Amino acid sequence: MTSTDLSPLPGVSAAVHAAFPALVAIPQLVEEISAMLDYSALWSLEDASSIGDLRLVQRVAAHDQRRATVVDPPPSDLARRATFTAATAEAAEEGHLVVFQWLVTHYASSGWDVTDAMVRASRHGHLDVLQWAQSHEELARFRWTTKMMVVAAIEGHFEIVRWLHEHSSAPGSPHWLDENVAVGNRRRAFASAVRWGHLEVVKVLAKYCSVNASVDTTRELAAARRWAEADMRVTNTSRLLRVRRERVLYSQRILDGPAEENAVWYGRLEVLQFLFSNGMVSKNGRSRTELAETATARGHANEAQWLVDFTTADP
């Protein structure tokens, strides 16, 4: 960790000189006046980083560094690491690249991890943060994780997903696939994109993902489907809670099932049309008539009608 400057606030010397010229010759007095006016000592590094004011961040870091030398016992490494992690995560989430760069560079000697910050940047669409970290891996220590791709897909940040595919070594990216046979968890990002209706992300991920259920067997999915589509208009409280629980479980299972079921369940018509038009449907999945019934039960009238019309149009 490099040293930081905690010199008197800018303007204090000028103000003292204007009011009491003779006092400027006493630097200790200027420092005391500056300390009285310096409210940065009351800020946390996390809060300062979240608003993106680099000068404030630098003074807060300087105060923290000074306190570490006078407090007994001094802050533990775990506490200082937690402060750094929270600060970089806030800067990355808000897209304050200059603050993020300064924090990483200032604390580089500590070797602390910024993976959480990378995930935050992915979720909030700040590609420049990812690009800088990737090009400065000697300073920014982090792990490429599938979560970065998944959260970007969920939020519809197409440019983030595409960049991660092209430049990262996260599980599921081309660099990772070159060294591993399995597709890994890229399917989870694909399923999340289908669920939230992010068509552009779906198009990019489609060629890398199997269209068949990857976790649950057909029998398990069928059983979960029956439970999930049970009649909700029941008077028995315990049975109602059980039915609702099964619906939640099915919602979780469907992410690992055929993509078209995912699209139907969440009412994503454009995604559904893309999947059928490009043959991205499971060969062992349900028929379009059955999918239309599910869409109707879920209240997705447009999806149900499209499936019926699509079925009717078949030769």
Main-chain phi, psi angles of 209, to 5 degrees: -115, 140
Task: Enumerate the H helices of 11-145 as residue ranges.
Answer: 12-19, 27-37, 45-51, 54-70, 77-94, 97-106, 115-123, 127-135
**Alpha-carbon distance 297 to 69, whole Å?**
65
The neighbour count for residue 15, using CB atoms within 10 Å, is 14
| pLDDT score, position 243 | 53
Main-chain phi, psi angles of 143, to 5 degrees: -115, 130
| pLDDT score, position 12 | 60
Higher pLDDT, 243 or 307: 307
**Alpha-carbon distance 129 to 107, whole Å?**
17
11's torsion region: left (phi>0), alpha (psi -120 to 50) or beta?
A: left
In the predicted model, what is the mean pLDDT of the chain? 76
Residue-wise pLDDT for 20-29, tens only, equals 666 665 666 5
Residue-wise pLDDT for 58-82, tens only, equals 989 988 888 777 777 888 889 899 9
Higher pLDDT, 314 or 309: 309
Overall average pLDDT of the 179-206 stretch: 68
Overall average pLDDT of the 5-11 stretch: 63
Higher pLDDT, 102 or 55: 102
> If we measure between CA atoms, which residue out of 140, 131, 90, 147 comes closest to residue 111?
140
Overall average pLDDT of the 228-257 stretch: 52
Residue-wise pLDDT for 93-109, tens only, equals 999 999 999 999 999 88
167's torsion region: left (phi>0), alpha (psi -120 to 50) or beta?
A: alpha
User: Mapping DSSP to helix (H, G, I), strand (E, B) and coil, where does residue 72 land?
Assistant: coil
Overall average pLDDT of the 197-225 stretch: 60
0.95 exceeded by the pTM?
no
**Alpha-carbon distance 68 to 64, whole Å?**
6
Grade residue 177 by pLDDT with cuts at 50, 70 and 90.
very low
| pLDDT score, position 88 | 97
**Residue 125: half-sphere exposure toward Cβ, Cα within 13 Å:** 7
260's torsion region: left (phi>0), alpha (psi -120 to 50) or beta?
A: alpha
**Alpha-carbon distance 255 to 195, whole Å?**
8
Q: Which residues contact 170 (CB under 8 A, 6 or more apart)?
A: 144, 145, 146, 148, 149, 164, 176
Of the candidate ranges 98-107, 118-127, 205-214, 287-296, the one whose mean pLDDT is the lowest: 205-214
